[in-house]
Each structure stands twice: as structure tokens, then as C-alpha cells.
Amino acid sequence: CLGADNVWWTAEVENVFVKIKQGQKRAMKDYLLQMNRQLDELVVKVRSDLTKNDRKKFNALLIIDVHARDIIEGFVRDSIMEAEEFEWESQLRFYWTKSVDNLTIQQCSGQFDYGYEYLG
């Protein structure tokens, strides 16, 4: 679940960079608003009647998503507008390659296959 969340976030942020290139200069701000709405929904879920195990899962997801939101807040604050900027390249980015059924993690020039390490 956490790996999938990271793959989804990476894809969404890269899509935002594409939108910016296409002239949608507010795309990062709009994505930040979307992330805040999603976090609000997740908080409601965490506060609902959950099993102890499910609560731990949702809490881990919430922590990772808050960190992702904080990164996007920094991008908005610092006007990060391109995927090639160091601020994006330096983040852990997760990519799913369906054709070979593989999850890779990239950061700067490094690329590593995900080996089912602990996330969270």
C-alpha cells in the first residue's frame, strides 16, 4: 500500500510538471490544494472506528502523505516549475514498470530496484 502510494504521488507530481510546461502555471498550487483535501479525508478515516491494525496502516499512510504534501508546499514556495530541477530530482521517486512487473526507486542519478524493504 505504501509503495503504491509513493508510485501514485510520483506520477501525479510528474503530471503537474507536464501541465506547467503546457502553460498551466497554477498546476502545482492546484495540486497542493488537492493534496490538502485528500489529507483531510484521510484524517476523517483515521478518526473513524478502525481495528488497531487498520489504524496503524492509515497512520503510516498519513505520515507519508503529510511529508509528500510538505514537499509540494516547498515547490510552491520556491517556484519549482520543472521536473529537471534539483529539488525534484533529489526526492525519492517511485516508478512502476508494468511490463516487467518491477518497482524502481530513483533519486538524483541513482536507480534501485525495490527489494520489498520496509516503508513507513
pLDDT digits (tens, 9 = 90+) for 22-73: 999 999 999 999 999 999 999 999 999 999 999 999 999 999 999 999 999 9
Q: Please tell me the distance from the alpha carbon of residue 76 to that of residue 74, in angstroms, as a whole number.
A: 5
Which domains, ranges and CATH numbers included, belong to the chain? 2-90 (1.20.58.1120)
Q: Strand 93-97 and strand 102-107: pairing?
A: antiparallel
pLDDT digits (tens, 9 = 90+) for 68-89: 999 999 999 999 999 999 999 9
The predicted model gives 14-21 an average pLDDT of 99
> What global pTM score does this model have?
0.91
Paired strand residues for 103 = 96
